[in-house]
Amino acid sequence: MIELYELAGQDPSARFSPYCWRIRMALAHKGLHAKLIPWHFGERRLPGGNMQVPVLVDHGHVVADSTAIARYLEDAYPTGPSLFGGENAEAHANFILAWTDQVLQPALFPLVAPDLPQHIKPDALPAWRATREERLGMSLAEAAARREQYLAAAHAAMGPLRHVLANQAFLGGSEPTYADYTVFGAFQWVRCGSGREILAEDDPIFGWRDQLLDLFDGLAGDCKVAEAA
């Protein structure tokens, strides 16, 4: 049995971790079923002593960190569709992962963070707020007040993504790869974490996201959209 420990909100149907979405999509891509085990900020019951989700437990074998989990799934389940498309493709995808972690998600963070408290259990909220406000360098309310400025910066950061998706269906080409799921995770964070629409309908990123929301019988599209605070 495969188990996936994933971040959940106070509403048990809320799923807003970008890293957990990478793995939800990767498991579906491989045709694998996992038992989903919700975890909330402040809880400490993750296997292997891990403090962050996602954590995958495959027949007792514990793998933590989304990138390591994706790598594990590719090796452990070689008969399913490849997540990457070969060695060169995986190496190139690593750049897209690094860009998502270092550029895209930091650009989206100040847009998402002010709406996230709705998902955090009251007893975990003070610690959650303190770490996020330290990362922002300001209060959540101040970040919310600068929303337009952050939105413009995020759209500028999305330039290379937009350019590519104007010319091909997916980052992986005609079909999605783990590179798509990685970037998509960031947009699920916005959608399921914040609930605010940041993409215009004529944005190539919008159409790409729609395709991914429909994939695997609407796995991601069926997820509860947050209510903007």
Torsion over CA of 20, 25, 28 and 33, rounded to 10 degrees? Answer: 10
DSSP-H helix ranges across the chain: 18-29, 66-76, 87-99, 105-112, 125-136, 140-145, 147-157, 159-165, 178-188, 204-218
Residue closer to its own copies, measured from CB, 102 or 131: 102
Q: Token digits for 32?
A: 């694998």
Residues in 184-203 that interact with its own copies by CB under 8 A: none
| Residue 152 near its own copies by CB under 8 A | no
CB of 177 to its own copies, least distance (A): 6
| Residue 130 near its own copies by CB under 8 A | no
Binding piece for its own copies, criterion CB under 8 A, among 124-132, 171-179, 191-199, 207-215: 171-179
Residues in 93-112 that interact with its own copies by CB under 8 A: 93-96, 98-99, 101-103
| Residue 208 near its own copies by CB under 8 A | no
- 38-72 in b/e form (b: 16+ CB < 10 A) is ebbbeeeebbeebeebbbbbbeeeebbbbbebbbb
In the list 5, 19, 170, 187, the residue contacting its own copies (rule: CB under 8 A) is 170
In the list 38, 80, 85, 221, the residue contacting its own copies (rule: CB under 8 A) is 85
- Phi, psi of 121, deg, nearest 5: -65, 140
| Residue 72 near its own copies by CB under 8 A | no
CB of 13 to its own copies, least distance (A): 32
Q: How far apart are CA 15 and CA 11, in angstroms?
A: 9
Instruction: Tell me whether the omega of the peptide bond preceding residue 38 falls within 30 degrees of 0, making it cis.
Output: no
| Residue 19 near its own copies by CB under 8 A | no
In the list 177, 181, 190, 220, the residue contacting its own copies (rule: CB under 8 A) is 177
Residue closer to its own copies, measured from CB, 11 or 95: 95
Residue 122: left if φ>0, alpha if ψ -120 to 50, beta else—which one?
A: alpha
Residues that bind its own copies (CB under 8 A): 82, 84-96, 98-99, 101-103, 159-161, 163-164, 167-168, 170-174, 177, 179
